[in-house]
Structure 1
């Protein structure tokens, strides 16, 4: 079963600087994580408390996710994420259940 790491970034102090750093520096770091099958980002619209940006990192299964999380490449990406001037960040993992036939 597919597994995913989801990271939500809330209210960057400087949206332009955040976007530039995220796309130019962070995305290449994340792309290097072993076992990563898919990397998506979305920018939710709606409520004031919605995240500014949501990143999803997809892996083949739980073992691939665990290996990716433990990798030096993920360590570099995580350290980079700590440098962003955002109100807060939420990260969580889980199995993905596809409900379409």
Structure 2
């Protein structure tokens, strides 16, 4: 399984961000081709450091499915909308491995 993860920094107006994110942006993500699961969390830091405000995770069966989704017209719509979100973000992909 492969995962696309997006970490958002704390926005200036968290309530407005949440409304925009969950009511407008997340529905655009749902039709991504090959999307198996999506989850969203608001981490709380344990100890020193800074946690992201929000973490979004999108799971795909394999690298081919993830690459296909990243190149899809649906992702182009998601990416365009993401540019207007009022929070900085970091994105990365990873293979999910057992331990």
The interval holding the TM-score normalised by the smaller chain is over 0.9
Is residue 2:41 matched to residue 1:29?
Answer: no
What secondary structure, in the 3-state scheme, does the structure 2 residue paired with 1:49 have? coil
- What SS is found at the alignment partner of 1:84? coil
- Number of residue pairs aligned between Structure 1 and Structure 2: 97
Runs of 4+ displaced beyond 4 Å: none
TM value normalised by structure 2: 0.93
Matches of residues 1-101 of structure 1 in structure 2 within 5 Å? 2-46=1-45, 49-86=50-87, 88-99=88-99
Structure-2 separation of matches of 1:17 and 1:50: 19
> What's the RMSD between the two structures over aligned residues?
1.1
Q: State the shift of 1:84 in Å.
A: 1.3
Alpha-carbon distance, 1:48 to partner:
5.6
TM-score, normalised to structure 1's length? 0.91
- More strand by proportion, 1 or 2? 1
